[in-house]
Structure 1
Amino acid sequence: MNEEVQFIIDSTKEQMESAIHHLEAEFVNIRAGKATPSMLSGVKVEYYGSLTPLSQVANVNTIDAHTITVQPWEKQLIPEIEKGILTANLGFNPMNNGESIIINVPILTEERRRELAKHAKSEGEHAKVSIRNDRKDANNELKKLDISEDLLKNTEQDVQDLTDEYIRKVDDLYIIKEREIMKV
């Protein structure tokens, strides 16, 4: 196969893989009712004049399925960490005991579970759109090349097979996440 054609297929595969990684990262941010330290991964804290990820200024742990503790490395950071958690708009109400911050993760209602499942589906659809755009870009690049009609058709079919494979991956990831969300 032509080197240019192989390059286009390889770069398309990379872009589709990137869409899957992005989807997985988005799914981590959709909580499924059980407390995990990753729920606070997007929290930034004002630390010596710059916004710093929470994990770089404190230990974040879970005591049980519904409680997260944040143990700052410097006690004067407790108010800043509370502010960062509230600013992140995660729906958590941090409690300060003077030594650390305790966050009770509320049990999800059926309605909230449905909303989260709908949000997960929406993220999955965004990933599918991205994958289809990658397919379109690859096909456009292939048409610009000076290759035979047969090679063009075969390569477009290879790109379509790749697209179908990654769309299936998105569907599989969504099914797993939906089960996790709806599990009581």
Structure 2
Amino acid sequence: MAMDSDEILLDTEERMEKATEVFRNSLQGLRTGRASPGLVDSVRVNYYGSPTPLKQVANISCPEPQQIVIRPFDQGILNDIIKAIQASDAGLAPNSDGRLIRINVPPLSTERRREMTTRIGKFAEEARVAIRNVRRDANKTAETSEKEKLMSEDDLKGLKDQVQELTKKYEGKVNDYARDKEKDIMEG
């Protein structure tokens, strides 16, 4: 489909932003050595037959650096929350007193920290590939637009340069987020 330069740039930036956001969200679920609601808030709980993010059915807090407390809005789903946390890949052991759930977040072992940084690297590479795929799509669309005389050859070259700038910008964001999370994990 042919588009003009502005449409292509806007679409490209939106899609690169989305890929970066998906990456950021995947990092929030990764454990550092400290308790954080982000470790469990996206765990999906079976709530009246529908998988619902934990943060929508419970209050999640971290009263201490090594502890998460989950207070369900509806006591009836306490066991469903426990099952969902146990089934998640967070590697956390929930304890309940019948009213609320406490999770002690043990410090990460050196081996676990290495595993986590490897996962971050994998997630980051997936995000960079997604960004490069957006670049490829943008360049294809631009070439189609140039063939259909919606832009000149010079415009096409300028647009490809701008798309490359966006690619560098979003790959840089991904690299920054990855580096910050790795630092958190190694120091946490």
Aligned pairs for 1:54-93 (under 5 A) are 54-93=54-93
Choose 80-89 or 114-123, whichever is displaced more: 80-89
Equivalence for 1:109: 109
Q: CA deviation at 1:73?
A: 2.9
Cα pair 2:41 2:60 within 8 Å, conserved = no
Q: What secondary structure sits across from 1:170 in the alignment? A: helix
Q: Describe how 1:1-184 pairs up with structure 2 within 5 A.
A: 4-145=4-145, 146=149, 147-184=151-188
Which structure has more relative contact order (CA 8 Å, sep 6+)? It is 2
Which range moved further: 43-52 or 90-99? 43-52
Structure 1 residue 76: Cα displacement: 3.2
Q: Tell me the SS of whatever aligns to 2:5.
A: helix
**Distance change (3 Å), C-alpha of 1:6 and 1:180:** same
One-letter identity of the residue aligned with 1:123: F
Paired residues, number: 182
Could you state the TM-score of these two structures normalised by the residue count of structure 2? 0.89
Query: Alpha-carbon deviations, 1:83-117, whole Å to 9, x = none?
Result: 12112232111112222211111110111111101
Q: Is the 8 A contact 2:29 2:90 kept in 1?
A: no
1:41-81 CA distance string (max 9 Å, x none): 12222333333332233221112111111122333332222
Mapped to 1, the partners of 2:89 and 2:162 lie a distance apart of 43
Alpha-carbon separation, structure 2, partners of 1:53 and 1:18? 20
Q: State the SS of the aligned residue for 1:63.
A: strand
* Distance change in 2, residues 1:141/1:97 (3 Å): same
TM-score by length of 1: 0.91
Shift of 1:127: 0.9
Q: Indicate how the Cα distance of structure 1 residues 74 and 14 shifts in structure 2: closer, same or farther if over 3 A, else same.
A: closer
Taking every aligned residue pair, what percent have the same amino acid on both sides? Answer: 38
- Alignment check: 8 A CA contact 1:42 1:88 kept: no
Unaligned runs of 5+ in 1: none
Distance 1:20 1:141 in 2: 22
Distance 2:14 2:155 in 1: 22
Q: CA RMSD in A?
A: 1.6
Distance 1:46 1:166 in 2: 35
Taking structure 1 as reference, are residues 163 and 57 closer, same or farther at Cα in structure 2, changes over 3 Å only?
closer
Paired residue secondary structure (1:108): coil
Gaps of at least 5 residues in structure 2 are none
Aligned residue for 2:4, secondary structure, equals helix
